[in-house]
Chains A and B, each alone.
Chain A
Amino acid sequence: MAIDKSMNVLIVDDYKTMLRIIRNLLKQIEFNNVDEASDGAEALSKLRTGNYGLVISDWNMAPMTGLELLQEVRQDNRLRATPFIMITAESKTENVVAAKQAGVSNYIVKPFNAETLREKIEKVLAHA
């Protein structure tokens, strides 16, 4: 199934450097419509007013964490089907389990490489 790379992608991270890195890596794989948010609350606000085909979020942010954002997304009737990839340094089993139980589409542990990002995005969007 062909992936629509013109979709809007929302990347969420409280480190501006990380947002810039992910944006540039997405650009390399031809996702050019990329928007940014610096925490879960800002992301949720953008998601509720915008139209995004994919969310790529960090976990450890304040005031709303990536997990809380994921839970809010999955409880929102309009947003619940939005593919959601967690990219985080949180690599404990309980983190992965909690994210999966909250409905994460895929999980990437930092530090990650461009190939892993591309592979996970393709896998998630193929099943969307």
Chain B
Amino acid sequence: MHEHPAAGTSEAPGRLGALVLDIPQHDIAVAERVRAILGGRSLSVAEAALLTEIEDLAATVASTRAEIVAMGADDINASHIPSATDELDAIVTHTATATDSILESCEQLEAMMGRLGREDAQTLQDAVTRIYEACSFQDITGQRITKIVAALQAIERKVAHMIGLFSPSGANGRTSREPAGPASLLNGPQLPDAAMGQSDIDALLASFD
């Protein structure tokens, strides 16, 4: 905080006038209100300190606005997040298509088992079963990606709110109220280190018996 030169002098309204010239239009009203309250008298030390704080705050807001404009924050919502969401959707679509193709091949292999000897048929059956088990990855990755998309959308809302608060136009502001969240029991897949395994779940179920 810098020392305000107007303290204890009659220059205060003039200094305030200079401040008015430096700040955006919607802040002028605030400054004029302060000047009206002062009614042309000198500032006390406490009032001067307060005025200095207000000046610093105005400077911080102006600087933040300039930084937001410079960083192109609008692009985050207009381009980056929608693009990332589209890419994630494409991953889900492509993995689903690939998985369906693998499953179709497995079904064709299973249809051939009747033509094989018992041992070979069993070997083929075991291999196909392992492929079926592995293909369930598509469900898990799909759910994980859905969680990521939800996180991106939450970021999008926060960025829109921030832009609305600080942008010069203030036109992009949206409510910061979060949409109704998913039910508390819909957590999706847990990370491996945090997840309960089947044996843990079996033990938990058995504890009810």
Contacts and interface: CB of A to CB of B under 8 A. Distances in A.
Interface residues of A, number: 35
Q: Which of B96, B188, B195, B198 has the most CB of A within 10 A?
A: B198
Interface in B155-209: 183-190, 195-198, 201, 204-205, 208
5 A-B pairs with least C-beta separation: A89-B189, A91-B196, A18-B139, A91-B195, A111-B136
Contacts of A106: 205
Interface string A95-107: 1111010000011
Nearest to B198: A109
Given A17-B139, A109-B196, A109-B201, 6 more contacts: A16-B96, A17-B138, A95-B185, A96-B204, A100-B204, A113-B133
Interface of A: 13, 15-18, 20-21, 24-25, 28, 59-60, 65, 67, 89-98, 100, 106-114, 116
Contacts of B184: 94
27 contacts: A16-B100, A17-B103, A18-B138, A21-B103, A21-B133, A21-B136, A25-B129, A28-B125, A59-B186, A60-B143, A89-B140, A89-B190, A90-B185, A90-B188, A91-B197, A95-B185, A95-B187, A96-B204, A97-B204, A100-B204, A107-B201, A107-B205, A109-B198, A111-B133, A111-B137, A112-B198, A113-B133
B129 to A, nearest CB: 5
Nearest to A101: B208
Interface of B: 96, 99-100, 103, 106-107, 110, 125, 129, 132-133, 135-140, 142-143, 183-190, 195-198, 201, 204-205, 208
Chain B: interface secondary structure? helix
A93 B204 contact: yes
A60 B136 CA distance: 15
Contacts of B195: 91, 109
Contacts of A67: 185
